[in-house]
Every structure is written in C-alpha cells, then in structure tokens.
Chains A and B, each alone.
Chain A
C-alpha cells in the first residue's frame, strides 16, 4: 500500500496550509524523514519530512496552492509497490484548492434602514431614570411634559409623581414607601393588598382625572312634579293587578329610574353631547347608552350599561336597572353589559348628599352626579315663596368634546324633563 502525503496541521488554529515548494520532483526517489516539501504559514516556512521511503507519485498540488489540512496531496510508492493510481486518489480525494474571498464583517449593517433599527429609540435629549421612565409610560404621562429635578434636569420618580394632576391617596407613590414611611413615624396600620377591582378602579380613574380636562356645571331641579308623577305611576301600577302581569304590578319606579330616563331624553334632544373624544377624533353615539354606577355590597363599584335607553319606556328602564344591580352583586354580569356606555349617572341621593362632583368614566364625555332630594323654600315665578322639594345635580364634562354652552344646554334639557315629567313618557327618538 502506498503512503499518503497529506497537508499536515502544524499550528494551532490552522485550517489550511500553503504549499511553498516541493523538494522532490514527481517520480523521484525520497527517503523517509528527508525534506519533502515546504509549507508557508503566517509565521514562517516549515519543512515537512517524507512519511515514507519510495517514489513520489500522483502529485496533486503545486507551489502556491492553499490546501485544506488533512488533504492528500501526493503518494509515495515503495520499491515493490505496483504503480497504480490509488483508490480515488485523483477523483474523490483530489485536492481542492481553497479560493479565499473577502467576506465583509458579519455585523456590518447593510443599509440605512438597518442602522436606524439598531439605533436607540429612546426619548431624545430627555434625561430620565429607568424607574421614572417606566412609571411615566405606565401612566401615560409624556416625558416632555415633566420637569426633572435631578442634576441637569434628570426626571426621577418624584417628578413623575408630582406631574400628576391630583394625588390619589391609594396611588400615592408606591404602597411600600408609604408603609415604610408610616412605620418610621410610628403610625399603626394594617397593610393589605388591594384586590383587582380596586386596582382597576384606581388605575382607570387616575387616568381619567389626570388626562381628561374636567369642568363642572351645577343645576337645581324642582322635584314637586316628578315626585307627584312617580307617586301617580306607582299607585296606578299597584291598582292594576287585574290587567298587568305580576312583575309590572309589583314594580316600584324610583327617582333614579326617572333620572336615567330624563338623561336618555336629554341626550336625544341634544345629540351633540352624546359623544366621546377618541384621540383626535370624535365618536358620535347613535343611542343613549347610560352607565349606572352601582356600588357593590362587597365593596367596590361597577358601571353596567343600559343600551338604547332613549327607546326604552320607564318600566323597562326600571326593571333593567333592578336586574343589573342584582347581577352586579352576584357577579353574573356579562362583559358586554359593562361596556359601551356614552354617559354615566352616579346617584348618592339616598345618602342625604346635597351635591358632589363625579369623575368622568372614560371614554364617556359626561357624568351626572345626583344629590338627594330635600325640602327648601323656593321663590316661584310670580315672586311668591313656597316650600318645594329640590334636587342638586352636577354635570362633569370632558372639555375636549363638550364646551360649556353645550353642557349647559344639555343640563337645561335635563331640568326640563325632570320638572315636566310627563315628557318622560314620550318617545322622542
């Protein structure tokens, strides 16, 4: 068997070698250990000795060729060996001369677009701590609007916190900080985690109060007619057990039911107010979808929606509100019943509240805060005094879509429906 001559590996991290020159011509005799050829490495030229004694044959590489290490480049035939081309010597193990091409660095960006992609997308020249950046992002506060108090105007957490319109006690800084502060100043307290509903209320209303520009309009409604109207309705229902079904004959219409109905009528007569601000666009609702703030027995608050209230009669509204309230408390409201409101009513009348300002329930543009009914001396149109029942309502408006006049127009309509309740029976849609 002839002996293979290979391109040997002679250095660490060497994958190819350049054959500098043969010391022995093809067909010439060489002794084992005699110089056979030279390799050029990046360090120097190195002599390779013959692996066997015999005749050099089938030389497959010439001076200057760059050859992969381990490749066969020739054969040495012993004296008694038959000069026959070794198996595959010239075919499968034929020396492949390696052509090197210049490959650009793998991480070199190919074009401008790619460079842009690699470039940081953070906020220009604004200096901000990672924590402050994160909080601002979570709360939707643009960094441009915050003034930094750190060195060179660096925005820190404190700056983001104080940038909010009003501090919400539940959300004042992190709970942990408050707790450790209280601990430090010796205040006794119990620390408990807030449930998800509380978290959601906190988040949603914080967002509303800090991002929606609120304004408020107050009105006082004379309730004498409405109270009479309600009393008439309820006694008529109670006296009609023979003709009405049981559900209807036992139904008691509440002031709140009538207030909701009045809101629906007002949204119908002032449709310009039945809107939402949608990030530069205005949504105009086709229906009066009225969210009712329902406080839960277990604490917390939900706002189920009566869709299309403008075309629902008083009794329909009343039964729907009863149903929503029951189901809100037993947790069986569907998600769709909690969405899609265009206007909210929040009624604290039963708590003997005179008046209050409500926070808009986004994305709605208005919320009506309804106070309690109380007796008061009023001056009649003919300048007489008399004792009447009155109710104070405060309308909160999103100034991005509702201007003062529009709010006032709507409130005037509402007052009209409350004070002339027969109109509540009409279908104005």
Chain B
C-alpha cells in the first residue's frame, strides 16, 4: 500500500498540474455546493419540512468531488445512503435534489426515492442505495456492460467502511478482478459504521489491504485532500479503461454529523469531532488553490455567495413544485407496456 499526497518530485499537488484553472475552481464550487446543500437540507429537515431521515456527508466532500473529477461525463457511479455529495459531484442539479427531498414530482426520483435513493441516471449516477454494499455488485454489473459492449466507460463504486465487511463487497471485488472489469472501488472510510468503529469491526487496519486478497491494486489516501483522491482515482480509472481491471482506493475521511439525524454521538468524543473539523477539506483545497494562484479571496467569496443564492433558489423551486398524484402511487413499479 502507498500513500499519495503530493508529487514528490515537484511538491506541487497532482490536481494543480492535471487540471485547468476553471476545472479547479469548479471543483471548489462543487464542494461549496455540496456543503451548502447538505446544510440547507439539514435545516429544512429540522424545521420539519423534509420527512424520513437523511445521512449527511459534511466533511467528506473531497472524496466525492476528487473521485468524480477523474471521470468523463459518460462514466458511471454507484452511490451509498450517504450519497448527496456523489450526486452533486457527478453533476446533478441541487434544485431537483431538493425537490426529491421534499417528495415532489420534479425530484430526481419523482418523490418516490428521497434522500436515500437519490440518483441522476442521465448524468451517470445509478443511484444511492439504502442497503450497505447494495450498490457494489451493481457497479460490477455496469462495468460488465461497459466491457461487453465496448463503451469505454469506467464505473466508480462508492461505499463506506461498513460495507467492506459485507459479503457482497468480497464477491464483487473477486468477480471484477477475475473478469478484469473497468470499475474503481472507492471506499470512503469515515471511521464508523453507524456507531461501530473500524477498529472494533474490521480485522485489517487499512481496508485497502483487502485488495491483496483479490490481487488488485489498493491504495489508502487522505480523503480530505481533493488532489490525493483525484490522483488515485485517475490512475485507477486509466488502468481500468485500459483493460487491466479494478482497483480499490480507500479515502480516509470523517463525517462531522451523526450517522443519521437521530444520532446522539455517544460513540465518539467532541474532541475527536473538533480535531477532524480542523481538517476541513474545503478550507484545505481553497488554501491550495490560493497558494497556487488559481483563485483569489474575492473570487472565493463570490463563489460562496453564488452558491448561497443557488441553494435559496433551489429550495424555493422544491417547495413550489407539485406533489405526486396519489392516484399514481403504483406508477413505475413496472414499465408500462401495451398488452
């Protein structure tokens, strides 16, 4: 296993060399957008405007944006119950995401899925998943399609540390390796499967070492460093597209919020949470961009203001959108076909 933070020869982060200024600014904007989207969603939830529950990824923005930065628009991802960031990173509109959270017909899932099943198939997001590791075999299946139909696509399969102890994880990695399928397994290790820490649940100290069992490359990277994530995923994606098969990338990160909205944080200390907040991936990436003269303070402020406006407009769109018709409760269970 290896850690990748910077290009050891030049000391310039990978991302600065690999992407244009516009791409880098767009990455920062997306991280803001994810953060503000989730804060907005949380606020609406606490006010009782959104029902059910939600799993926030505040603090994990770099792994989502860094991973998707390495993709073409036609590439695909599968996501998790903590999937808002993946959805935004892959190009979804926050207005339709809010609409989904508000249960509206204009939402990505027309109000049938909610936070836990948010998807944007047109942009290649095959969907968040309410089942831990549920999306992993599906990602492998999508990769099988890519290989069989020679589409040239790669699939990024997001999952959390909790999923690495599911059978589906192991079965899927094995099959993807046996068939050399174009899939990149991105494990967002935020240290806890709900309340159970990785130390208490997982026999290996680094999940990336699970790759050894399937004879595929495995890396652990700083998941709060966008450049490291983008570098690792780019490399894995190139490898996958060239027919060499899958890789496993473990992004070390942390969720600032509880598992879900009913979490009382009994399993971790406030100090631990505060320590991780100091490693805020957005601030870090912002600093990197400023250091390398990609963006100015004023531009950053402008980006943030623009995102705030976008969020307000998105919530308004969601609130004013039509609710689904009750008559259509069973619509889309099956494809409508003439018989």
Check A-B contact in the complex, CB < 8 A: yes
What total of A-B pairs shows CB separation below 8 Å? 33
Complex contacts, B48 vs chain A, CB 8 Å: 9, 15, 68-70
Complex contacts, B261 vs chain A, CB 8 Å: 9-12
Alpha-carbon distance between A11 and B46 when the two chains are bound, in angstroms: 9
* B:38-54 near A, CB below 8 Å: 45-49, 51-53
Q: Would you call A6 an interface residue if the criterion is a C-beta within 8 Å of the partner chain's C-beta atoms?
A: yes
> Is A69's CB under 8 angstroms from B264's CB?
no
Complex contacts, A12 vs chain B, CB 8 Å: 51-53, 261-262
Contact with B along A137-178 (1 / 0, CB 8 A): 000000000000000000000000000000000000000000
Complex contacts, B53 vs chain A, CB 8 Å: 12
Complex contacts, B49 vs chain A, CB 8 Å: 70
> Is B262's CB under 8 angstroms from A69's CB?
no
* B:52-75 near A, CB below 8 Å: 52-53
Q: Would you call A236 an interface residue if the criterion is a C-beta within 8 Å of the partner chain's C-beta atoms?
A: no
> Is B262's CB under 8 angstroms from A70's CB?
no
Complex contacts, A44 vs chain B, CB 8 Å: 264
The binding surface of chain A is classed by DSSP as loop
8 Å CB contact of B47 from A13, A43, A46, A69: A69
B90 to chain A, nearest CB (A): 27
* A:297-347 near B, CB below 8 Å: none
Closest to A68 in B: B48
Alpha-carbon distance between A11 and B258 when the two chains are bound, in angstroms: 12
Q: Would you call A86 an interface residue if the criterion is a C-beta within 8 Å of the partner chain's C-beta atoms?
A: no
Alpha-carbon distance between A155 and B192 when the two chains are bound, in angstroms: 67
Q: Would you call A8 an interface residue if the criterion is a C-beta within 8 Å of the partner chain's C-beta atoms?
A: yes
Alpha-carbon distance between A11 and B259 when the two chains are bound, in angstroms: 12
Alpha-carbon distance between A6 and B47 when the two chains are bound, in angstroms: 7
Complex contacts, A69 vs chain B, CB 8 Å: 46-48
Alpha-carbon distance between A70 and B46 when the two chains are bound, in angstroms: 6
> Is A8's CB under 8 angstroms from B46's CB?
yes
Alpha-carbon distance between A6 and B262 when the two chains are bound, in angstroms: 16
Alpha-carbon distance between A124 and B241 when the two chains are bound, in angstroms: 77
Complex contacts, A46 vs chain B, CB 8 Å: 264
Complex contacts, A15 vs chain B, CB 8 Å: 48
Alpha-carbon distance between A40 and B74 when the two chains are bound, in angstroms: 48
> Is B46's CB under 8 angstroms from A43's CB?
no
* A:1-57 near B, CB below 8 Å: 6, 8-13, 15, 43-44, 46-47
Complex contacts, B264 vs chain A, CB 8 Å: 44, 46-47
Complex contacts, A43 vs chain B, CB 8 Å: 262
Complex contacts, B52 vs chain A, CB 8 Å: 12
B272 to chain A, nearest CB (A): 14
B33 to chain A, nearest CB (A): 21
A267 to chain B, nearest CB (A): 65
Alpha-carbon distance between A120 and B171 when the two chains are bound, in angstroms: 58
B283 to chain A, nearest CB (A): 16
Alpha-carbon distance between A6 and B46 when the two chains are bound, in angstroms: 8
Alpha-carbon distance between A179 and B53 when the two chains are bound, in angstroms: 64
Alpha-carbon distance between A386 and B314 when the two chains are bound, in angstroms: 116
Alpha-carbon distance between A184 and B47 when the two chains are bound, in angstroms: 74
Contact with A along B227-264 (1 / 0, CB 8 A): 00000000000000000000000000000000001101
Closest to B273 in A: A33
A392 to chain B, nearest CB (A): 68
B44 to chain A, nearest CB (A): 9
Alpha-carbon distance between A8 and B262 when the two chains are bound, in angstroms: 11
A73 to chain B, nearest CB (A): 12
Alpha-carbon distance between A46 and B262 when the two chains are bound, in angstroms: 9
Complex contacts, A6 vs chain B, CB 8 Å: 46-47
A282 to chain B, nearest CB (A): 58
B114 to chain A, nearest CB (A): 12
* B:144-200 near A, CB below 8 Å: none
A168 to chain B, nearest CB (A): 44
Complex contacts, B46 vs chain A, CB 8 Å: 6, 8-10, 69-70
Alpha-carbon distance between A69 and B48 when the two chains are bound, in angstroms: 6
Alpha-carbon distance between A12 and B302 when the two chains are bound, in angstroms: 36
Complex contacts, A13 vs chain B, CB 8 Å: 51
> Is A10's CB under 8 angstroms from B262's CB?
yes
Alpha-carbon distance between A310 and B46 when the two chains are bound, in angstroms: 92
Complex contacts, A11 vs chain B, CB 8 Å: 261-262
A192 to chain B, nearest CB (A): 33
Alpha-carbon distance between A11 and B53 when the two chains are bound, in angstroms: 7
Contact with B along A68-83 (1 / 0, CB 8 A): 1110000000000000
Alpha-carbon distance between A9 and B48 when the two chains are bound, in angstroms: 6
A214 to chain B, nearest CB (A): 57
Contact with A along B12-50 (1 / 0, CB 8 A): 000000000000000000000000000000000111110
Complex contacts, B47 vs chain A, CB 8 Å: 6, 8-9, 69-70
Alpha-carbon distance between A44 and B49 when the two chains are bound, in angstroms: 23
* Highest count of chain A CB atoms <10 Å: which of B48, B49, B53: B48
B146 to chain A, nearest CB (A): 38
Closest to A45 in B: B264
Closest to A41 in B: B262
Alpha-carbon distance between A367 and B189 when the two chains are bound, in angstroms: 99
Closest to A8 in B: B46
Alpha-carbon distance between A43 and B48 when the two chains are bound, in angstroms: 19
Alpha-carbon distance between A69 and B53 when the two chains are bound, in angstroms: 15
Alpha-carbon distance between A69 and B44 when the two chains are bound, in angstroms: 11
Closest to A48 in B: B46
Alpha-carbon distance between A69 and B45 when the two chains are bound, in angstroms: 10
Complex contacts, A68 vs chain B, CB 8 Å: 48
Alpha-carbon distance between A69 and B264 when the two chains are bound, in angstroms: 18
B74 to chain A, nearest CB (A): 37
Alpha-carbon distance between A70 and B53 when the two chains are bound, in angstroms: 15
A42 to chain B, nearest CB (A): 11
Known contacts A12-B53, A70-B49, then 7 further A-B pairs from the complex at CB < 8 Å, ordered by chain A residue: A6-B47, A8-B46, A10-B261, A12-B51, A12-B262, A15-B48, A69-B46
Pick the 10 closest A-B CB pairs, nearest first. Answer: A8-B46, A70-B47, A69-B48, A70-B48, A11-B262, A9-B46, A9-B48, A12-B53, A46-B264, A9-B45
Chain B residues within CB distance 8 Å of chain A = 45-49, 51-53, 261-262, 264
Cross-chain pairs A/B with CB under 8 angstroms, 5 sampled:
A9-B45, A12-B51, A69-B47, A69-B48, A70-B48
